[in-house]
Amino acid sequence: MAMTRSLEVKGQLVAGGKEPLICAPLVGRDEAAVLHELEVIVAKRPDLLEWRVDFYSGISDVGRVVELTKEIRTRSAGIPVIFTRRSTREGGEPIDLCEDEVLSMYREVARSGAVDFLDYELSSEPEHFEQAVALARETGTKLIASFHDFEKTPPADAIVAKLVGMEKAGADIAKIAVMPQGLEDVLTLLQATLEAQKTISLPVISMSMGAYGSLSRLFGWVFGSSVSFAVGQQASAPGQVPIEDLRTVLEVLQRSLKGG
């Protein structure tokens, strides 16, 4: 019984359509740290890698960013790569680039062919978001539209509306991460995920963050979230659990969902 929609790269299902996909972030500050992390993470065989380029101290030099992206590709053992600059507005690290420079960096990286997915925030200026959509079409990469609220969990209908907005704006995948202030908020996120599955036709990725939110990282896929972000070496957001722990829980849940 399929709970989630599969992600595709160049017409192929990622990890053969397995659900949920496990994605491990790379958050090193320099080349050596990123490549060391990569080695540790690849050995754990996640289904996806995310390079959080906003953590990288060399981000202002596009040439270095492209070189490192290619190096990541070479050493990633065929695991598809997501390229992400998270803005400070949505919980990312401070960087010295203006938005036009960020988009130029996205352009160079996507055109190098070394990444499979681009993550770009829906809260960006519409003209910038349109450029990200066009770039994804031009390069055959998939665009993940994202939205993060590190303070609170909006009501379920507002979460669904954001995900609908991502589809309307031309994204290929719709992602939302929100912070719970109590257990009810975790339910709100799960409820909105289930609802969004019925409302839009894109794969949805959703998570509640922090300690309570870690529950959604373990079983949010049952409600329709296609990907769970988990720790390979270091977390990129609060509440991510180690890949090994996630796998243990997934095995148990998958067995019980089959009826024991």
Beta-bridged to residue 146, according to DSSP, are 121, 175
Which residue of the set 36, 148, 168, 198 is catalytic? 148
Residue 52 assigned to a binding site: yes
104-143 residues near ligand DQA, rule: CB under 6 A:
119
From 10-18, 183-191, 195-203, 236-244, span contacting ligand DQA (CB under 6 A) = 236-244
Helix (H, G, I), strand (E, B) or coil at 134: helix
Among 237, 241, 246, 250, binds ligand DQA (CB under 6 A): 237
Q: Cβ 168 to ligand DQA, closest distance in Å?
A: 20
- Whether 211 and 10 have beta carbons less than 8 Å apart is answered as no
Q: Determine if residue 234 is labeled as part of a ligand binding site.
A: no
Residues whose CB is less than 8 angstroms from the CB of residue 211 and which lie 6 or more positions away in sequence, other chains included: 238, 239
Of 102, 177, 192, 202, the one binding ligand DQA (CB under 6 A) is 177
3-state DSSP assignment of residue 24:
strand
Q: What are 77's two structure tokens?
A: 């053992």
Is 44 one of the catalytic residues?
A: no
Residue 50 binds to ligand DQA (criterion: CB under 6 A): yes
Pick out residues in 14-43 that bind ligand DQA (CB under 6 A).
Answer: 25
- Contact flag: residue 146 with ligand DQA (CB under 6 A): yes
Q: Which of 4, 69, 84, 124 binds ligand DQA (CB under 6 A)?
A: 84
Q: β-strands 8-9, 12-13: how paired? A: antiparallel
Q: How many helices (H) and strands (E) does the chain have?
A: 8, 10
Kindly state the smallest distance separating residue 259's Cβ from ligand DQA, in Å.
Answer: 31
Active site residue 175: yes
Q: Other C-beta atoms within 10 Å of 29: how many?
A: 12
Q: Does 207 bind ligand DQA (CB under 6 A)?
A: yes
Q: Report DSSP letters for 159-225, one per residue.
A: HHHHHHHHHHTT-SEEEEEE--SSHHHHHHHHHHHHHHHHH-SS-EEEEE-HHHHHHHHHHGGGGTB
Question: Does 51 appear as a known binding residue?
Answer: yes
**Least distance from ligand DQA to the Cβ atom of residue 17, Å:** 21
Asked if residue 209 binds ligand DQA (CB under 6 A), the reply is yes
Please list, in sequence order, all residues whose beta carbon lies within 8 angstroms of the beta carbon of residue 234, skipping any fewer than 6 positions away. Answer: 25, 27, 37
Is there binding between residue 240 and ligand DQA (CB under 6 A)?
yes
Choosing from 18, 36, 152, 175, which is the catalytic residue?
Answer: 175
Question: Which residue is listed with tokens 């969004």?
Answer: 196
Q: Which is nearer to ligand DQA, 103 or 174 (CB)?
A: 174
73 is in an annotated binding site: no
Nearest to 176, CA basis, from 162, 188, 190, 155: 162
Query: What residues form DSSP beta bridges with 228?
Result: 22
Q: Give the active site residues.
A: 148, 175
Binding site for ligand DQA (CB under 6 A): 25, 50, 52, 84, 86, 119, 146, 148, 175, 177, 207, 209, 229, 236-237, 240
Binding residues for 3-dehydroquinate: 50-52, 86, 217, 236, 240
